[in-house]
Amino acid sequence: MNTGSQKSIKIIALMELAIAAGILAFWTAFFSTDLVGISDPHLKEIYLAFESAFPVADFFLALLLIMGGVGLLRKMSFGYFFTLMAGASLIFLGLLDASFNSRQGLYFIGLAEFLLNISINAVCLAAGSFFVFKIWRCQYRRPTLKNPSRSERCDIPACNLRLGHSAKGAL
């Protein structure tokens, strides 16, 4: 794997670990403080009911992110699998959250709520898409090539080894 690829894989791994830490920090704050800045009691009740459905799924997502990040840092093949799963989960979470925020008007109740919600949605969608694209490109685009040229080879050694190409040829 070339230096640029190694660097991008390390960046993905660190992003995964940072997002997992952010998810865990959010739920710690959610359960230990009143971080909901919604003055309308009806809208606050709707928001809390919506958020209350997510702890188990978010902890599962954090686990996927940690497994993916650690796997990538250790250059283990399971890291790519968990990164792909985590990326798809982040996209789903980002779309679901953005849909709820739009339909309930949460983007428009104040600057702080807007910045918090739009930041969370943007991170989920951008990071999830990036993870899926990077891993999908390696794992699923290359197998149909019998004798890939240098530019067509995957830049992740586990992919090339699985396809019968030497890791040295991936450079």
pLDDT digits (tens, 9 = 90+) for 22-80: 999 988 988 888 766 667 777 778 878 888 889 999 999 999 999 999 999 998 989 99
Q: Is the pLDDT of residue 168 over 70?
A: no
Residues 69-94 have a mean pLDDT of 95
- pLDDT-derived band of residue 2, with 50, 70 and 90 as boundaries? low
Residues 106-120 have a mean pLDDT of 85
Question: Which has the higher per-residue pLDDT, 68 or 108?
Answer: 68
Q: Is the pLDDT of residue 14 over 50?
A: yes
Question: Which has the higher per-residue pLDDT, 98 or 135?
Answer: 98
Q: How far apart are CA 35 and CA 126, in angstroms?
A: 25
Q: How far apart are CA 68 and CA 64, in angstroms?
A: 6
b vs e for 138-166, b when ≥16 Cβ sit within 10 Å of the residue's Cβ?
bbeebeeeeebeeeebbbbbbbbeebebe
pTM: 0.76
pLDDT of the residue at 4: 63
List the alpha helices (DSSP H) in 33-110. Answer: 41-51, 55-73, 77-104
